[in-house]
Amino acid sequence: MLRRNDLRDYGLLILGAVIQAASMDLFYIPGKIASGGVSGLAQVINHYTGFFIGATVLVMNVPLFVLGWRYLGGRRFFIRTIFTVALYSVLVDLGRLVIPVGPTQNPMLNALYGGVIGGLGMGLTFLGRGTAGGSDILARVLARMRGIPLSQSYLFTDALVILLAGFTFGWEQALYAMIALYIGGVAAEVITEGSNIVRTAIIISDKPREVADAILRELERGVTGLHGEGMYTQQARTVLYVVISRSEATRLKAIVRETDPCAFVVIGQASEALGEGFRPLKD
Share of the chain above pLDDT 90, in %: 35
- 159 shares a domain with 69: yes
Identify whether 283 is part of a domain.
no
Question: What is residue 233's predicted lDDT score, i.e. its pLDDT?
Answer: 84
Rounded distance, CA 31 to CA 14, Å?
25
- 234 shares a domain with 128: no
pLDDT of 264 > 90? The answer is: yes
Minimum mean pLDDT range among 51-65, 149-163, 165-179, 191-205 = 149-163
Domains identified in the chain, total number: 2
- 8 Å CB contact between 172 and 165: no
Question: What is residue 201's predicted lDDT score, i.e. its pLDDT?
Answer: 93
Domain end call among 192, 219, 251: 192
- 146 shares a domain with 34: yes
210 against 233, higher pLDDT = 210
Domain end call among 139, 172, 192: 192
pLDDT of 108 > 80? The answer is: yes
Would strands 223-230 and 198-204 be described as parallel, antiparallel, or unpaired? unpaired
- 236 shares a domain with 107: no
Question: What is residue 194's predicted lDDT score, i.e. its pLDDT?
Answer: 52
Question: Reduced to 3 states, what is the DSSP secondary structure of residue 264?
Answer: strand
DSSP H or E run through 220: none
Confidence category of residue 1, pLDDT binned at 50, 70, 90: low
- 96 shares a domain with 211: no
- 118 shares a domain with 183: yes
Characterise 195 by phi-psi region: left (phi > 0), alpha (psi -120 to 50), beta (else): beta
pLDDT of 238 > 70? The answer is: yes
pLDDT of 11 > 80? The answer is: yes
Output the domain CATH number for residue 228: 3.30.70.120
Which residues lie across from 243 on neighbouring strands? 200
Q: Mean of the pLDDT values across residues 4-10?
A: 79
pLDDT of 151 > 70? The answer is: no
Question: Reduced to 3 states, what is the DSSP secondary structure of residue 279?
Answer: strand
- Other C-beta atoms within 10 Å of 9: how many? 19
Burial 181-219 (b: 16+ CB within 10 A, else e): bebbbebbbbbbbeeeebbbbebbbeebeebbebbeebb
DSSP letters, 171-189, are HHHHHHHHHHHHHHHHHHH
Domain end call among 192, 214, 236: 192
Query: Largest alpha-carbon pair distance within the chain?
Result: 70
pLDDT of 73 > 70? The answer is: no
Which residues lie across from 227 on neighbouring strands? 238
Q: Which range among 2-6, 172-176, 245-249 has the greatest average pLDDT?
A: 172-176
pLDDT 10s digits, 188-215: 777 775 555 788 999 999 999 999 999 9
Question: What is residue 103's predicted lDDT score, i.e. its pLDDT?
Answer: 81
Average pLDDT of every residue of the chain? 84
- 8 Å CB contact between 95 and 24: yes
- 8 Å CB contact between 236 and 184: no
Q: Which range marks the domain in which residue 205 is found?
A: 198-270
- 215 shares a domain with 157: no
- 155 shares a domain with 114: yes
Question: What is residue 37's predicted lDDT score, i.e. its pLDDT?
Answer: 82
- 209 shares a domain with 163: no
Confidence category of residue 152, pLDDT binned at 50, 70, 90: low
Q: How many residues are present in the chain?
A: 283
Q: Mean of the pLDDT values across residues 99-113?
A: 86
Q: Mean of the pLDDT values across residues 168-192?
A: 85
- 78 shares a domain with 25: yes
- 8 Å CB contact between 117 and 103: no
